[in-house]
Amino acid sequence: MASDFNGGEFGVGDTIAATGASSASAAGGATDDTLAATATATAQAPPDTRTGATTRADGQGPTTVLPAVEDQDGRMVLVPRTEERYRRERVLGEGGMGIVELARDADIGRSVAVKRLRAPRTSPTAVARFIDEVRTIGRLDHPGIAPIHDVGIDAEGAFFFVMKYIDGETLEDIIERLRSGDTKAHAEYTFDRRTAIVLSILNTVEYAHSKGLLHRDLKPANVLVGPYGEVLLVDWGIARPIGGDADRIAPEDEEGDDGGDGRSRLVSTHEGAVIGTPLYMSPEQARGETNGLDARSDVYSAGVLFLELLALRHPLDDHKSVPAICSALQTVEPPGITQSFWEHPGQDPVPAELRHFVRRALANDREERWQSVGEMLAELERVRAGDFRAQCPATFMKRAQHRTLPFIDKHPLLAILGSLLMVTMLSGSAASLLYLLLGA
């Protein structure tokens, strides 16, 4: 939940002065001079002319604003305090651009996630991308997007922003647990539960599209699943307007050679001629078509994510470099319905109707995909409800069963009579066939 207080009306000095008056009254004698001496000024050094960063002259990061409330001889006293506001606890994740840490907000008394720009990546381009991400998230208000609570500069001069913390796990972690045969994970994340997670993701992406934004980096690592069913889509750092021109901020490639063969290079956001995560890019994104990308690119990426969540493997796992993946994306067809790709030890085969659904999302020709995430979302809701087209023998039988069940609920007696009649007819046919075969 977003914080209602953003510090917009009062600075640190104003707050200390306001609380100091109350403290003086309660303590019976504390003077304004004493309170002024206790308060810490927010003096700033001149800004860095290259990055625009400003550091505090006292070498500290953001400090607490709220006073401590103490009981002194039965009287409530407000005591000014100056402590580090966001106390770092542990690293939650790292990327090429920054690091995300769990921290404790000493003012509000809650856990928060703090994303910091890496100190070496303080070029104007890196800072501009950071600002873009902050303002992109700031214009989005949806349950599937973690809100930003605060922005600032730490003691080392690194920009950071503070956002809601979800005590959960990434979809990437969940896939790894399922892939390893974790029985608890398989019991919790049935195919229906996995479908529900993807529906939540699509709902969030549809909202972003309604605001004119493409995410461009949909992948399991960017989806957080909370302990109470929350599903949040994170990392909006390369989101851009739908159908817009090329990135206003020119990309940098500071992470090494394109031909690196580590899997981390393939599942992390890559900047250079193409922008995104190679294994989850659409074919047009892999071709470097930054101009005019539309909703169908996110449709494709969401399809790859869903495929991996269902089958627990990626169709391009055998490709070990960025160029190889970008090339394969132009020609490789999605796995066939009857291929063994859909079968994985430790779980049942992926339902046929979900296989058909994913294959449409992964069409190389964007004209053959859903033309919007809204269409994709509506179709998946129908599939989950059992209302899907008969595209193979398995889906034909399931569709027939789905259509028959409401009739059985409404007319149970007729259903029983019909079943008995069917059994009688089959028995008679079997007897006749046996008679003919025996020649009696």
Query: Catalytic positions, please?
Result: 217
Nearest residue to 286 (alpha-carbon basis) of 251, 249, 323, 258: 323
Amino acid identity, residue 140? L
364 Cβ partners below 8 Å, 6+ apart?
Answer: 283, 329, 330, 331, 332, 333
417 Cβ partners below 8 Å, 6+ apart?
Answer: none
Tally Cβ neighbours within 10 Å of residue 46.
8
DSSP H helical ranges for 90-150 = 124-138
Pairing state between β 148-153 and 159-164: antiparallel
Q: Is 439 left (phi over 0), alpha (psi -120 to 50) or beta?
A: left
Amino acid identity, residue 24? A
For residue 349, what is the DSSP state? P
C-alpha to C-alpha distance for 397 and 342, rounded to whole angstroms: 19
Q: How far is CA 298 from the centre of its chain?
A: 13
C-alpha to C-alpha distance for 33 and 39, rounded to whole angstroms: 10
337 Cβ partners below 8 Å, 6+ apart?
Answer: 352, 355, 356, 359, 392
Say if CB 371 and CB 179 are below 8 A apart: no
Find the angle CA(312)-CA(99)-CA(276) to the nearest 5 degrees: 50
Q: Name the CA dihedral angle for 403, 405, 376, 270, rounded to a multiple of 10 degrees.
A: -130
Nearest residue to 94 (alpha-carbon basis) of 78, 79, 77, 114: 114
Say if CB 298 and CB 280 are below 8 A apart: no
C-alpha to C-alpha distance for 161 and 114, rounded to whole angstroms: 6
- Structural tokens at position 294: 């539309």
Strand partners, 105: 86, 110
